[in-house]
Amino acid sequence: MGGAVLAVVLVAILDWRAALLLAVWLGAWALNAWMAQASVAGARILVPVVFGLTLLTLWELAVRLFEVSPVILPAPSAIALAFAANIPTLWVDFVQTILRGALVGYVLGCGIAFLAALAIDRSAFLQKGLLPVGNFIAALPIVGTAPILVMWYGFGPSSKVAVVVAMVFFPMLVNAVQGMKESDAIQRDLMHTYAANYWQTLLKLRLPTAMPFLFNGLKICSTLALIGAIVAEFFGSPTVGMGFRIKIEVGRLAMDMVWAEITVAALAGSGLYGLMALMERQLTFWHPSHRSVRN
């Protein structure tokens, strides 16, 4: 505690504004450390909430104390005002980009990748031929392939779905193929002694053991889908959509609206990722990693 006070005093000699920011940070840090160590009721939720509020407070103070231009970095309060004033526009963009582009592409891409993993699992030719080609295609830059797909499928939601499918297909495929290999030879031999056919072995052994890999792929792809849908709108879209709005508002230097769109994208991505994590916890409760958390 004495060292922290001394640090604040020393910084205050140089710049009182920096000293104020440091004092707020140290105070919030001490509060968070106390809640975590004292096992306060609801600490699992309170600690990240206080940490997030601390970052927003520091952001607001830094912008106001140092008079940062809103074009460079708008204050959180300005972003909140832009958010509240443009809810109808943000909702229309959300429907166009997230619901009609990202989610549709996410479901299609992950579903096709899972079916392809089942085919690869039964074909040595596909294992040796498709996966290397898939890794090569996955390494292609999205900013190069997105305008091509927009030209092929037009400016509507179809082109955004195609970009999202291209982004999520191979990460999901690699995880699904690896998950299919997770069951060991002894387990498969045991199913063979029970006279289980391929589909019975798949449903009762291989898919359950592959579940952690499948959900790992789904969580990775949840954020890739949003990135793909927004990036695709930079290269052509009707006059609606998050990528279109960001491009237009940057040109108008309305950065508070840009940050409002970014906030919507971050909330949507966090929500989809959290939904996948919750489903993973409910469906793979038997996995050692979850058992150790509960214990």
- Quick one: pLDDT at residue 131? 73
DSSP 155: S
pLDDT at 110: 94
Q: How far apart, in whole angstroms, are the C-alpha atoms of residue 127 and residue 120?
A: 5
Judged by phi (left if over 0) then psi (alpha if -120 to 50, else beta), residue 253 lies in left
Position 80 scores a pLDDT of 93
For residues 278 and 295, give the distance between their C-alpha atoms in angstroms, rounded to a whole number: 18
pLDDT of the residue at 130: 74
User: In this predicted structure, what is the pLDDT of residue 35?
Assistant: 78
Q: What is the pTM of this model?
A: 0.81
Q: Are 37 and 70 in contact (CB under 8 A)?
A: no
Tell me what pLDDT residue 1 has: 58
pLDDT for the residue 217? 92
pLDDT at 197: 85
For position 26, what pLDDT does the model report? 85
16 secondary structure, DSSP code: H
**Amino acid 191: pLDDT:** 85
CA 88 to chain CA mean position, Å = 24
Q: What is the pLDDT of residue 138?
A: 74
What does the DSSP 8-state code read for residue 254?
-
Residue 189: Cβ within 10 Å count: 10
Amino acid at 43: A
pLDDT along the chain (295 residues), means of 10: 62 74 85 76 78 90 90 92 92 92 94 90 76 76 85 86 91 89 83 84 87 92 90 82 90 91 92 91 76 54
**DSSP state letter for 49:** H
SS3 147: helix
Distance CA 80, CA 75 (A): 9
List Cα–Cα distances, 258 to 96, 118, 208, 222, 295, in angstroms: 16, 42, 42, 22, 44
pLDDT at 125: 75
- Quote the pLDDT of residue 87: 92
